[in-house]
Amino acid sequence: MLRRCSNLPRSALKVARPTATRAFTKPSAPVSASSQLASKDSSNVLFELDVKKVGNEIRKRGLTSSINGQREGGMDRDTIIRLLYSLGSRHEVERYLRIFTQSSKDAAAGGVLPEAKFAVLKIGGAILTNELDDLALSLSFLNRLGLFPVVLHGAGPQLNDILEAEGIVPDYEDGIRITDPKTLSIARRVFLQENLKLTTALERLGTRARPIPTGVFTADYLDKQKYGLVGKITRVDKAPIEAAIRAGCLPILTSLAENAEGQILNVNADVAAGELARVLEPMKIVYLNEKGGLYHGVSGKKISTINLDEEYDALMKESWVKFGTKLKIREIKELLDTLPRTSSVAIISTDMLQKELFTDAGAGTLIRRGHKLYKQPSVEAVGSTQLRQVFTERDPEVSSGKRSVAEIFSELKNTPHTIYGDEPFDVVAVVSHPEGQTPVMTKFLPSRNGILNKIVDNVFDAIKKDHKRLFWTAKADDENRAWHFERADGSFTRAGRSLFWYGVADVKEVEKIIEGFETSGRIERVFLPVGPSTPPHRLGATRAFSTSTRPMAASAANYSFRRGYATEVPRKRVALIGARGYTGQNLIALIDNHPHLDLTHVSSRELAGLPLKDYKKSSVSYSNLSVQDVGKMAENNEVDAWVMALPNGVCKPFVDAIDASAKKGGKGVIVDLGADYRFEKDWTYGLPELYGREEAKQSSRISNPGCYATNTQLLLAPLMPYLDKIQRPSVFGVSGYSGAGTKSGEKDEEGRPKTVPKISAQDLGLSIRPYSLTDHIHERESSTHLSSLLPSSTSATSDPFQLAFIPNVAPWFSGIISVLTAPLEKSMRASEIFELYEQKYAGEKLITLGKNVPDVRDAEGKHGWRMGGVQVHSSGKRVVVVGALDNLLKGAATQCMQNLNNALGYDELAGIPLDEI
């Protein structure tokens, strides 16, 4: 196996590429069911070693947990995530984990507990006999990541052994076990034993598990005369499963069912898993078996992927697809046809479960519906409206304002090209192929769903079938750079971009081709001479997924072509005063992601002179701006917007200096993150979902709401006209310790002051700490602004609106959960209350409404607000509603970005990752 190093000869470049394990091996061909099959090469062996290493590391350190879910002496979630990095790239792992753990509107609206929608795992009986420890370890691993797979197991081999020992020959008809009363009696005993065995193994690892041997499936006789006590499932009761998950336990099911009279019936475990999946609609249906996948009947090699919509008809005609294989594939297609397209089936061995779930490469056989692919020679043939939307939403060149969609379309008309993609446009790729020249993939634009469901592989395979050689580029810090390396024969990185190619073996020929590209302008002039690339693990911080080619370097020859087209969006400059704290750090990340904002000044007394590490658009260093500095800069209009991220009571001199500059032509917008101006009538109070949205578009002075106040007001606003006029509502809020702010701490190895919380998790232990029990500033803030939502007749004739608020700090980092108790003027139903929220927040993209109580863990790191858990007292005149948000994001930085966008004339959500709400 070759490893990339600085003295690697150029001739070796064609095989030097990283895999997800950070090793470098010769790439195998992309895979499909009918013709392109995965081979078990050295990279597979290395992956197996890594999986075993992860397992051994978990055993060595131990998996224990307390009743409260706090890890004591065992491995915490962060440690387990770091171990996962040995299986694939960090960003692969984090992306899949984020997708698997986020709550879904559909889950809540459909009445299914979101945690139950992660995965249904069907486990063969042989696994329980031969791989029990590995199985328990894998399930514990997933649970420590906050995931709750619903586990259903069989016990066929164990049952056969006992039947044979008692002189009973197992009998089958049409592949179905004929079950008489004695067989059923033994089967029930075996199922209970195996269920308890798995539950006990999990409990030994500190993972809570709940055995559910019966009570989930209701069935009628399949054909009593023919099969005996065999059932056909008619109903699935998800209540026992959801109760187990709510209690923090993994549900462990058997396939035993009951009929209306209470008779136990035997049901095929695969069939039961399918019926369970139809009710829960999980993202993954996983079949664990000893083989670890489906195998080609001729070559004997494992099939990596089956895309049913594209391959099913041809696959079912293959000579080797017959008997059990044909039945299984047909059953899986029938199952997936009833589920959302995001659902897929994985057939995998126990020790490869983590690799299948958390890496792009996978390990077993992945079966998904997919979509039929297309390839067209022009924009018009594909559909300009759909393509325009894809380019607008996904192409960094367009979102950054470097090029317009019209400019790209015009360029395509002048160059022979083919557009590849799938029917719902989850992936769009453009390959330029002038006559007699080497093809270049100029665009590769996948959606999140396209990545998750590996449609990217399907489209790339189609490209590879048409083009024996291909070149393409990607940003060097591309989140999915490992995907590119795995599909290339060679690559190298320079000036922040990586060039990839396949189908060219000689490095001298590579240089000649690139020289031609640079001469014709098909690829930017940065890649000659050819040199070795930087391995993925040595690259710096990553940014959003993007593989599109950058525009050519501006020159006299092409500048006139790109100058000032009508749709170009002007860029604005932002100065951040007070950048060391948590909110400042999050705002820097949002500005870095913004297509039209540039951070030009960051002011921090303690960090002055040090470079700003987390900003990638340009080189920026911290400064220590005085009031006089700010006034002079404002007078000269050096900055378009000022963000004050300062402690309460500190920012007034800076604001006064900027105000004074207005008399001399200064025009800067100010957004204050503190509480100093939240009660000033001359300032716009910016909580866009409730008030301030239109005002902010005309305002230059905006006060950003407090984090608790945002949660409280969003909870109460829909209810304001219906509240009891005498009894005041109350809000019990609990925030992560980041809400208490930071303090000066020790310095790191570079001499930078560390960002240290004023209150730490260690200070709090396992408890929460109430504080400011009366007259908290967010109580007055919320009461003041909510009063404006009362009917004018009510506010004029009654006392000022007041609420009661009790804040608490908890031993988690970020995230607020608030419980509202509100007396009502008249009796109402929970459904009526929920409709009020739906009406109030219709069309608000940062608001998620659900029937279940939101979990603060679902809000952490997210840019939106979540509400749920509506319950009305038996009297009908008191309602309880729960809201959650991240105090550093929607409670501060994200809301600041909304206000900045409105004040500066941009789309309100520009720069805010809408897949993280």
Strand order, beta sheet including 256-258: 231-236, 217-221, 256-258, 264-266
CATH for 705-789+800-891, options being 3.30.1330.10, 1.20.120.550, 3.90.380.10, 3.30.360.10 = 3.30.360.10
The DSSP output letter for 653 is H
547 pLDDT band (50/70/90 cuts)? very low
794 pLDDT band (50/70/90 cuts)? low
Q: Which is higher by pLDDT, 147 or 68? A: 147
Q: Measuring CA to CA, how many Å separate 816 from each of 286, 756, 761?
A: 34, 20, 15
Domain 373-527: CATH class, spelled out: alpha beta
Comparing 382-391, 522-531, 847-856, the range with the smallest average pLDDT is 522-531
Give pLDDT, residue 163. Answer: 84
Give pLDDT, residue 69. Answer: 38
Average pLDDT over residues 6-22: 30
pLDDT tens, position by position, 568-620:
468 899 999 987 788 988 999 999 999 899 999 999 888 888 888 878 888 89
105 pLDDT band (50/70/90 cuts)? very low
The angle subtended at Cα 128 by Cα 202 and Cα 344, nearest 5°, is 85
Average pLDDT over residues 21-48: 34
State percent of the chain over pLDDT 70: 80
pLDDT at 35 over 60: no
648 pLDDT band (50/70/90 cuts)? confident
Give pLDDT, residue 95. Answer: 67
pLDDT tens, position by position, 290-326:
788 888 877 778 888 888 887 888 888 888 887 677 8
Give pLDDT, residue 793. Answer: 56
For the chain, give the mean pLDDT: 81
For 357, the token pair is 């779930």
pLDDT tens, position by position, 328-344:
888 899 999 998 877 88
The DSSP output letter for 22 is S
pLDDT tens, position by position, 169-180:
677 777 788 899
Average pLDDT over residues 471-488: 81
Q: Is 707 designated active site? A: yes
pLDDT at 655 over 90: yes
Give pLDDT, residue 170. Answer: 73
Give pLDDT, residue 6. Answer: 30
pLDDT at 621 over 80: yes
Give pLDDT, residue 309. Answer: 82
Query: Whose CA is closest to 423, among 306, 341, 304?
Result: 341
45 pLDDT band (50/70/90 cuts)? very low
pLDDT tens, position by position, 359-399:
767 788 989 887 778 889 999 988 888 899 999 999 988 88
Give pLDDT, residue 8. Answer: 28
90 pLDDT band (50/70/90 cuts)? low
- Judge contact between 202 and 138, C-beta under 8 A: no
DSSP string, 462-525: HHHHH-SSEEEEEETTBTTHHHHHHT-SEEEEETTEEEEEES---HHHHHHHHHHHHHHTSS-T
What is the Cα–Cα distance from 235 to 847, expressed in whole angstroms? 34
pLDDT at 553 over 70: no
pLDDT tens, position by position, 191-219:
999 999 999 999 999 899 999 999 999 99
pLDDT at 839 over 70: yes
Average pLDDT over residues 505-517: 84
Fold of 78-104+113-368: Carbamate kinase (3.40.1160)
Domain 572-702: CATH class, spelled out: alpha beta
Comparing 304-318, 541-555, 846-860, 861-875, the range with the smallest average pLDDT is 541-555
What is the Cα–Cα distance from 94 to 728, expressed in whole angstroms? 44
Give pLDDT, residue 750. Answer: 62
Domain boundaries, the chain: 78-104+113-368, 373-527, 572-702, 705-789+800-891
Tell whether the torsion through CA atoms of 179, 182, 186 and 191 is positive or negative: positive
Give pLDDT, residue 528. Answer: 59
pLDDT at 58 over 60: no
State percent of the chain over pLDDT 90: 45
Give pLDDT, residue 290. Answer: 79
pLDDT at 747 over 60: yes
Give pLDDT, residue 102. Answer: 58
Comparing 29-38, 51-60, 431-440, 819-828, the range with the smallest average pLDDT is 29-38
For 659, the token pair is 């105000």
Strand order, beta sheet including 417-422: 373-376, 417-422, 427-432, 440-446, 470-475, 497-502, 490-494
Query: Whose CA is closest to 217, among 191, 185, 193?
Result: 191
Given 249, 651, 707, 896, the catalytic residue: 707
pLDDT tens, position by position, 403-458:
899 989 988 888 899 999 988 888 999 999 998 899 999 999 998 778 766 788 88
What is the Cα–Cα distance from 253 to 250, expressed in whole angstroms? 10
pLDDT at 765 over 90: no
pTM (2 d.p.)? 0.46
Give pLDDT, residue 71. Answer: 38
